Amino acid sequence: MRASLTLLLLLAGAAAATAADGNFDKTIPVPRDSDARLEWKYQGCSVESLTLRNYPDREDIEEARRKDPGDKSWLWWEFNVANRSDQKCRISLSVQVLDRKGNVVKSSDRSDSVSPGELDDDIRVSTLMKTVDIADAAKVRLHAQISFR
């Protein structure tokens, strides 16, 4: 029992250390129909949520499957960010779209700064990918690094 408690405390400390250094990772289902709450916070700077913009509609997906499997769609992974600190923070974001086997079918990244006192800003990571790939994608792996350099 004591060994289990010690192991649990060590694991909890390791998870907190990742957040303590401003690095965050999470794999989630592709957020096709709703926002994904992230709530990643580091020293007053945060990545609140993710919204997937410009997801192809059913007709576009069906047409791509029937007529043009190479058809591509622009997608915007819109991260809502805030900075409650008194200094500018830098947020680096990466998105990896995963197929059903866990293979990366598309990845993209972007970095931007957020001014002090900005409570409702967005950082968009864009991807141009095959329409059928995003339609068939199971999950997305997200990474953020928040820093004050």
Model pLDDT, residue 19: 62
Domain range summary for the chain, segments of one domain joined by +: 23-147
Model pLDDT, residue 14: 38
pLDDT per residue as tens digits for the range 26-49 = 999 999 999 999 999 999 999 999
Model pLDDT, residue 12: 41
Q: What is the mean pLDDT of residues 11-20?
A: 44
CA angle 32, 127, 137 (to 5 degrees): 45
pLDDT per residue as tens digits for the range 78-126 = 999 999 999 999 999 999 999 999 999 999 999 999 999 999 999 999 9
**Secondary structure E strands in 68-138:** 72-83, 89-98, 104-114, 121-130
Strands 89-98 and 72-83: unpaired
pLDDT mean across residues, the chain: 89
DSSP state of 55: P
**pTM for this entry:** 0.85
Q: At the top level of CATH, which class does the domain 23-147 belong to?
A: mainly beta
Q: Is the dihedral of CA 92, 145, 96, 54 positive or negative?
A: negative
